[in-house]
Amino acid sequence: MSKKTISEMVDMLPKDKQRLVYEYVKKLILEWDSDFTKLTPDERKRLEEAEAEEDVIGIDEIDWD
C-alpha cells in the first residue's frame, strides 16, 4: 500500500477517526524520535547532497543579532 493510498483512506474517515489516527501516528513518531533529531534515509541523503553542494548554512554562521 502506498503512502498516498493510506493518506486518502484517512481522509475518508469521519473527523473523530481522523483525529484518532493522527494521535496514534504522533505517538509513533515521538516514540521513534522524541527530540526530532533522527533523519530518515531519504532525509539523510538529501542533507548529504545539500552539504556537498554547500546549500546548507551552519548554525554558527547565522548572525542572530
Contact 10, 21 (CB under 8 A): yes
Looking at the 3D structure of the chain, how many domains does it have?
A: 1
Contact 50, 56 (CB under 8 A): yes
Per-residue model confidence as pLDDT tens digits over 16-65: 999 999 999 999 988 988 888 888 899 999 888 888 887 778 788 888 88
Within a domain: 15: yes
Within a domain: 65: no
Within a domain: 28: yes
Write the CB contacts of 13 (distance below 8 Å, at least 6 apart in sequence).
21
| Domain limits for position 16 | 3-55
> Which residue in this structure is represented by grid cell 498516498?
4
Encoded amino acid at 45, one letter: K
pTM of the model: 0.49
User: Which pLDDT does position 1 carry in this prediction?
Assistant: 59
